[in-house]
Amino acid sequence: MNVLVCGGAGYIGSHTVYELIEQGHSVVVADNLVKGHREAVHKDAKFYEGDLRDAEFLDRVFGENKIDAVIDFAAFSLVGESVTEPLKYFDNNVYGTIRLLEAMNRAGVKKIVFSSTAATYGEPENIPIVESDTTVPTNPYGESKLTVEKILKWSDNAYGIKYVALRYFNAAGAHISGEIGEDHSPESHLIPIILQAALGKREKIAIFGDDYPTPDGTCVRDYIHVTDLADAHIKAIEKLFRDNTSSVYNLGNGTGFSVKEVVEEARRVTGREIKAVIEGRRAGDPSTLIASSEKAIKELGWQPRFNTLSRIIETAWKWHSTHPNGY
């Protein structure tokens, strides 16, 4: 299959490109490199630098390649920034995908896997969260992704573009080869920050709140390995070709770990001192997010393989300890 990966130079996108190529697919990557890294793009992928909001650029990509399906990762993803700069998020994440869908229509490409998020749920009404639970995002990032899910539904209805939206919980870890990994600037995610502290690049890690209604008072999250996420995208494409129906899936391990537990496990894996101090809560953080991924397991035949916190942190450590300054 020939797959166009938008945002294929980013964290989850680059790992998906590696899995696609490993499984024998041809890959075209489109990325504007605003957040992505050219070095993260697999050498066997065909690379185009450009922006999804640029219709001419997209027509060139679709015109020069016979694309069977699209995977769309191209988006901004910082929750805090989305609160202060919502228009930037709606412009890139929503308008960019509208342009992509228009270009797909012009090119007659009718299958897309979309990168969505647990942030579509907002404060969860049940744990574990199932796909039919209420979606009331508490920040513009989650709202932008939920908006695209709705646009996809109506584009299916009108144009027959079939989609799978994948709602990730906390993506973490790095490729087992150590060649690619997580490199955000600025970094805001827990595991990279902890490992930067382990490397001495930060003096300490701040734990945002220890007064949540959780067993140790710190927030609980469902960490899912980036290669397991990558694998789910390929299974989602296979499903689209198998039954040509649209759907939405949660992707997580179904197990929650508190911030303190993650710090403790990172100390064990790295054998390093990691200084942690308790600070105030971060605005907009739900206390507990844990996925039910039963639907993905059943319908996609997906099964997370790096399904322990230690495996996740070990692979992240392999990347961070060999690339202390990122790419």
Point out the residues that are catalytic. Answer: 141
Quick one: which of 193, 229, 227, 185 has its CA closest to 320? Answer: 193
Q: Cis (ω within 30 of 0) for the bond into 137? A: no
Alpha carbons within 13 A on the beta-carbon side of 148: 35
Instruction: Pick the stretch among 35-43, 98-106, 205-213, 292-300 that binds ligand UDP (CB under 6 A).
Output: 205-213
Distances from the Cα of 168 to the Cα of 129, 172, 208, 272, angstroms: 12, 11, 22, 30
Closer residue to ligand UDP, CB minimum distance, 1 or 278: 278
Give yes or no for residue 170 binding ligand UDP (CB under 6 A).
Answer: yes
Minimum distance, C-beta of residue 98 to ligand UDP, in the bound complex (Å) = 25
Instruction: Pick the stretch among 17-25, 82-90, 199-207, 233-241 that binds ligand UDP (CB under 6 A).
Output: 199-207
Return the residues of window 211-250 that contact ligand UDP according to CB under 6 A.
219, 221
Q: Cis (ω within 30 of 0) for the bond into 140? A: no
Minimum distance, C-beta of residue 119 to ligand UDP, in the bound complex (Å) = 7
Give yes or no for residue 285 binding ligand UDP (CB under 6 A).
Answer: yes
Give yes or no for residue 321 binding ligand UDP (CB under 6 A).
Answer: no
Distance of alpha carbon 292 from alpha carbon 252, whole angstroms: 7
Minimum distance, C-beta of residue 66 to ligand UDP, in the bound complex (Å) = 36
Integer-rounded Cα Rg, in Å, for the chain is 19
Which residue in 52, 148, 166, 190 binds ligand UDP (CB under 6 A)? 190
Tell me the sheet residues that pair with 166. Answer: 115, 249
Assess contact for 34 and 99: CB atoms under 8 A: no
Give yes or no for residue 1 binding ligand UDP (CB under 6 A).
Answer: no
Question: What contacts 143, CB < 8 A, 6 or more positions away?
Answer: 137
Distance of alpha carbon 174 from alpha carbon 11, whole angstroms: 9
Give yes or no for residue 138 binding ligand UDP (CB under 6 A).
Answer: no
Instruction: Pick the stretch among 34-42, 146-154, 184-192, 300-308 that binds ligand UDP (CB under 6 A).
Output: 184-192
Give yes or no for residue 202 binding ligand UDP (CB under 6 A).
Answer: no
Count of residues of this chain found to bind ligand UDP when the rule CB under 6 A is applied: 15
Distance of alpha carbon 70 from alpha carbon 67, whole angstroms: 7
DSSP state of 38: G
Distance of alpha carbon 16 from alpha carbon 251, whole angstroms: 14
Return the residues of window 45-64 that contact ligand UDP according to CB under 6 A.
none
Give yes or no for residue 259 binding ligand UDP (CB under 6 A).
Answer: yes
Minimum distance, C-beta of residue 122 to ligand UDP, in the bound complex (Å) = 13
Return the residues of window 61-100 that contact ligand UDP according to CB under 6 A.
79
Which parts of this chain interact with ligand UDP (CB under 6 A)?
79, 170, 188-190, 193, 205-208, 219, 221, 259, 282, 285
